[in-house]
Chain A
Amino acid sequence: MPATARDEHAVAPTPGAHAQPVVKLRHPIRWASYVIIAVLAAMFVNTILTNPNYGWDVVGEYFTSVRILDGLLKTLQLTAIAMVLGIVLGVGLAVMRLSSNPAVSGVSWLYIWFFRGTPIFVQLLFWGYISALYPVISLGIPFGPSFVEFDTNVLITPVMAAILGLGLNEGAYMAEIVRAGILSVDKGQTEAAQALGMKRGRILRQIVLPQAMRVIIPPTGNNTISMLKTTSLVSVLAFPELLYAAQLIYSDNFETIPLLITASIWYIIVTSVLTVGQYYIERHYSRSERLAGPGVLSRIAELQRRRGVTVDTEGEAR
């Protein structure tokens, strides 16, 4: 057998002081725990395989069925739309919160206080029953005549209720994340930009937000993962996302457990994929923190330029 450096026999000599034989410490408790865990795992696998109530054949039958895949697609879409709405709102609310105008920052504070202080489930129910609160939505002069009126039930469909409920709630959480990001940028950056004659909007877009990204992006990834799971609450609004699609099926065929398993497997697949993405995002940001290098955007531009795609790198300075 060739002795490579990785070969166990080729490893450095016994660490004992005079190269005497060493008796390794025994770990009886560790071995006992292995045995117990192995037994429990065997029992668990056994019940999963033998308990007919799991209905694995039903899971297999529905796993890639059109209704389930359609629900999955809607879940993904809802997650994306709600996150985009939440991020846009969050940036706006964070900037408002940091405003020197007390009315503006007060409104933002109130918004965050309300949407973080009540359960998302209750908020979704409110959006679902909004027509009981405001049967008609009208546009016009405040306290004066109205020009157009909408029937709330027509305007706020289950999709709209789901998007508003999830997005407005997410906005409050994103606001805090973005605010922390903005505050993490050294004040000297703003002052240097001001001294160069830049105005507030440009300083925010070109100087502060790009640097705030390393603080904003990792928790935003976390929130996206948790949003994916939170979308399941939308089933109460009769919006056919993944969980509600499963519920609709089992209300017909009474295969409740197998369909919940089907939905769960899909949730865990998607969250796993997102978690891997999250891992790389966090690694990227913890590394660039040490190097104080460029942000994601300029990295992407750099890569594209190397591939020969012409990118306006100074475009960041437009």
Chain B
Amino acid sequence: MTADTRVPMVRAEDIRKSFGHLEVLKGINLEVQRGEVMTLLGPSGSGKTTFIRLINHLETITAGRLTVDGQLVGYREHQDRLHELRESEVAGMRAEIGMVFQRFNLFPHMTALQNIMAAPIGVRREPKGVVRERALSLLERVGMSDKSGAYPGALSGGQQQRVAIARALAMQPKLMLFDEPTSALDPELVGEVLDVMKDLARSGMTMIVVTHEMGFAKEVADSVVFMDDGVVVEAGSPDAVLVDPQHQRTRDFISKVL
């Protein structure tokens, strides 16, 4: 692991991604520093999900250069060539990046506690007792201590998403990716999930958050990136982008979301 704090956590250089003939990302350039919380905004179909899925190699990039913590995503560079990583190497890389999905994707046949413990035990081969302690304290951190034995089917959307966040944190990731974590929730359940995320942001976690929750962006984000049609239209501090946007497209979008 590179401990060099000057290396950005995520660095994207001219990232392109096509599905067949459809070019979805048309040259994305951005950097996320250690401890930075970046929110990614943009209309539906602008490529936000695709971009964060590239970061943990759930999709492969078509062109460009993407590094996480100084390491190329999905490839090894050797004598001027890119060699595809083996499955175990990709898995090892993903294990250090947490991901939270719009639809939670908890494992329905496991209890909340089992969901959280599965990867540290199965992937990292950590001792069960240690993992259990950590899982219980994570459940407490997301306010779900009393539901450790509950199956996801018995939990509300907000509760499921909090367990999903705990599950990702159990792998002690260096980077957390959130893809619209609150947009599948009933309005009254959004707050409890955002609170957990704000708490995480203040603890110094590096986060990329796709969200339309302007409150979250203003309160805890260090930077805001507005994407449209596969390009970054505008990026900067929350005040700069949300309060005083320079581009018409950004203004239109923000006026619609607010």
Asked if residues B91 and A197 are in contact (CB atoms below 8 Å), the reply is yes
In the complex, B94 has a CB within 8 A of chain A: yes
In the complex, B168 has a CB within 8 A of chain A: yes
> Which one, B10-18, B114-122, B225-233, is touching chain A?
B114-122
Question: Which chain A residues (275-313) contact chain B, with CB distance < 8 Å?
Answer: 291-295, 298, 313
Interface string of A183-203 (1 = CB under 8 A from B): 000101101111111111010
Asked if residues A195 and B109 are in contact (CB atoms below 8 Å), the reply is no
Asked if residues A314 and B123 are in contact (CB atoms below 8 Å), the reply is no
> Which one, B40-48, B100-108, B249-257, is touching chain A?
B100-108
Asked if residues B109 and A294 are in contact (CB atoms below 8 Å), the reply is yes
Asked if residues B91 and A207 are in contact (CB atoms below 8 Å), the reply is no
In the complex, B83 has a CB within 8 A of chain A: no
Complex Cα spacing A96 to B143, Å: 43
Q: Which A-chain residue is minimally distant from B108 (CB atoms)? A: A292
Question: Which chain B residues (117-145) contact chain A, with CB distance < 8 Å?
Answer: 117-119, 121-124, 128, 132
Asked if residues A197 and B109 are in contact (CB atoms below 8 Å), the reply is no
Asked if residues A314 and B109 are in contact (CB atoms below 8 Å), the reply is no
What residues on A are CB-neighbors of B105 within 8 Å? 186, 188-189, 191-192
Asked if residues A188 and B121 are in contact (CB atoms below 8 Å), the reply is no
Complex Cα spacing A31 to B232, Å: 79
Asked if residues B121 and A197 are in contact (CB atoms below 8 Å), the reply is no
- Indicate the member of A197, A200, A316 with the most B CB atoms within 10 Å: A197
Interface string of A44-56 (1 = CB under 8 A from B): 0000000000000
In the complex, A211 has a CB within 8 A of chain B: yes
Q: Which of B87, B91, B94, B121 is in CB contact (< 8 Å) with A317?
A: B121
Asked if residues A197 and B94 are in contact (CB atoms below 8 Å), the reply is yes
Asked if residues A291 and B153 are in contact (CB atoms below 8 Å), the reply is yes
In the complex, B162 has a CB within 8 A of chain A: no
Asked if residues B99 and A195 are in contact (CB atoms below 8 Å), the reply is yes
Asked if residues B99 and A317 are in contact (CB atoms below 8 Å), the reply is no
Complex Cα spacing A199 to B94, Å: 10
In the complex, B110 has a CB within 8 A of chain A: yes
Complex Cα spacing A192 to B123, Å: 13
What residues on A are CB-neighbors of B101 within 8 Å? 188, 191-192
In the complex, B95 has a CB within 8 A of chain A: yes
In the complex, B171 has a CB within 8 A of chain A: yes
**What class of interface size applies to chain B in its complex with A?**
35 or more
In the complex, B212 has a CB within 8 A of chain A: no
Question: Which chain B residues (16-57) contact chain A, with CB distance < 8 Å?
Answer: 56
Number of A-B contacts (CB under 8 A): 97
Q: Which B-chain residue is minimally distant from A200 (CB atoms)? A: B87
In the complex, B9 has a CB within 8 A of chain A: no
What residues on B are CB-neighbors of A188 within 8 Å? 101, 103, 105
Asked if residues B167 and A199 are in contact (CB atoms below 8 Å), the reply is no
- The smallest beta-carbon distance between B229 and chain A, in angstroms, is 25
What residues on A are CB-neighbors of B88 within 8 Å? 199
Asked if residues B118 and A206 are in contact (CB atoms below 8 Å), the reply is yes
Asked if residues B152 and A196 are in contact (CB atoms below 8 Å), the reply is no
What residues on B are CB-neighbors of A195 within 8 Å? 56, 58, 94, 97-99, 168
Q: Which B-chain residue is minimally distant from A198 (CB atoms)? A: B123
In the complex, B204 has a CB within 8 A of chain A: no
Complex Cα spacing A195 to B90, Å: 10
In the complex, A26 has a CB within 8 A of chain B: no
Asked if residues B110 and A197 are in contact (CB atoms below 8 Å), the reply is no
Asked if residues B121 and A196 are in contact (CB atoms below 8 Å), the reply is no
Complex Cα spacing A188 to B114, Å: 18
Instruction: State the B residues within 8 Å of A (CB).
Output: 56, 58, 87-88, 91-99, 101, 103, 105-111, 113-114, 117-119, 121-124, 128, 132, 151-154, 164, 167-168, 171
- Beyond the given pairs A197-B93, A293-B108, 11 more chain A to chain B contacts, judged by CB atoms under 8 angstroms and listed by A's residue number, are A194-B58, A195-B94, A196-B123, A197-B94, A197-B96, A198-B122, A206-B118, A314-B117, A317-B110, A318-B121, A318-B122
Q: List 26 A-B contacts (CB under 8 A).
A: A186-B105, A188-B101, A192-B164, A194-B91, A195-B58, A195-B98, A196-B94, A196-B118, A196-B123, A197-B92, A197-B95, A197-B96, A197-B123, A199-B91, A211-B107, A211-B109, A291-B153, A292-B153, A293-B153, A294-B111, A295-B109, A314-B113, A317-B110, A317-B114, A317-B117, A317-B122
